[in-house]
Structure 1
């Protein structure tokens, strides 16, 4: 489970997590859509959900994007 999904489950949703962090629900929803917590916010989120920051950093890997753009191009 990725970091943002884990944090949302621990707080029962984006509104509750946003309130604990003192920010808008839309901001937290944007993290969910991107699939990761911004690196500068991981410690604050870890504190808000009473989690080890290192565990959250390890979970906070951006989603795989598939093949690299250069690999999918045909040679010129």
Structure 2
């Protein structure tokens, strides 16, 4: 996939964190920033999908889904 260049200003703290991630993962700052941005976009798309599904749920279905999510979280512990 072709890449496009963007100019992105970040805070000093964000830049420090990107550098640290890049160093740990042995990637360039640009590669680390691109991966972080890609993950953030995917997370945003997923959250928007979940919200759109939740908007169509009845309160009863929503309660069942919350109970299911809690049960799954308990399995992870």
Same fold at TM > 0.5: no
Structure whose alpha-carbon radius of gyration is higher: 2
Using structure 1 for the length normalisation, give the TM-score.
0.32
Using structure 2 for the length normalisation, give the TM-score.
0.31
Greater percentage in helix: 2
- Answer 1 or 2: higher relative contact order, Cα 8 Å, separation at least 6: 1
